[in-house]
Amino acid sequence: MKTTKKKIAVKDLDRLVVIGTSAGGLEALKEFVEHLPIDFPAPILVVMHISADATGNVLIDTLNSVGKLTCIHATDGMQAKSAHIYFASPDHHLLVGAGGRLMVTKGAQENRYRPGIDPLFRSAAVAYGNRAIGIILTGYLDDGTAGLMAIDRCGGICIVQDPSDAEYPDMPNNALGQVTADFKIPISQMGVTLTRILLDKLPKQVKIPKDIVRESEIAERVLSDLPSVNALGDQVPFNCPGCGGVLWQISEGSLLRFRCHTGHSYTAKVLISEQTKKIEETMWSALRMFEERRNLLTTFSKSQSGASAKSSMERAEASQIHIDRIRNILMSDNE
């Protein structure tokens, strides 16, 4: 598909594009940047889930080789410019403030990730209001859904990759389940769609909801904030998998989210997934301890005789019963 050569008469920083992706994101972003013109008149900020020990250089180098825009890692305090794509660094959140000032923080993980998509989208909604454009691409689970909802509530444009076009359709499907997207399109159509949006007259700003501002401030300040989470929702009898603290439940339509006062945040789906992971880890530890106990009792019984040896073997056999039960649960396909 050819990109337009028409000069787009929109000033720098009047608009901002934010993108969130996870599994399958490299190929999706390669196709995305191929369709953008060299004079793209807005900054693009991207969060892609990558491991904390990765450098991200492969992603940056690949996109610079296939696209016309300049792709770089964001640094704290950097001023965003049009025709540039800024990527969140591994193990750091990427946020944006008024006027396109970038913030790179080590705040608490959200939806088990740092960088997280929701913090970026939420900050864009606060800083740019209805001039923010949010895009959700391929990925697992539902990171980015709450952030796209924030952009939607602030009057911004919401674009979601058509799930049938996504290598991993979970993130697009979950976003579409909560937000009435302005565009549900394949990646091949996003370049021309963005160009058309940026040619439109800029809308008047709308008032930003207080709860979105509060959550954005929590991520920006990187500190415990009990009054803020109290204002966002109600305490529930669940513990944060990240720090063990109490969680507050935040309801947005049918989307349930949970946040602790240190900054960790989870959608219900991610919280269940994280709890399942913790349960499995605990059960593997219990299995190991029971096996060690059985082996110790068996060894001990061999050095004993009579009633003492019999008692040790009976206790070892009881441990084996627990071992079998735990192993059956762990080997089961049922969660």
Q: Which residues are catalytic?
A: 22, 49, 143
Classify the C-alpha dihedral 54-84-25-137 as positive or negative: positive
How far from 51 is each of 85, 259, 262, CA to CA, in Å?
20, 22, 22
Upstream peptide bond of 172 is cis (omega within 30 degrees of 0):
no
Cα separation of 12 and 43, whole Å?
A: 8
Enter the DSSP assignment of 164.
G
Structure tokens at 300: 């001990």
Cα separation of 74 and 187, whole Å?
A: 24
Closest CA to 162 of 151, 176, 148: 176
Enter the DSSP assignment of 250.
E
Phi/psi at 143 (5° precision): -60, 135
Instruction: Determine the residue type at 149.
Output: M
Q: How many residues does the chain have?
A: 335
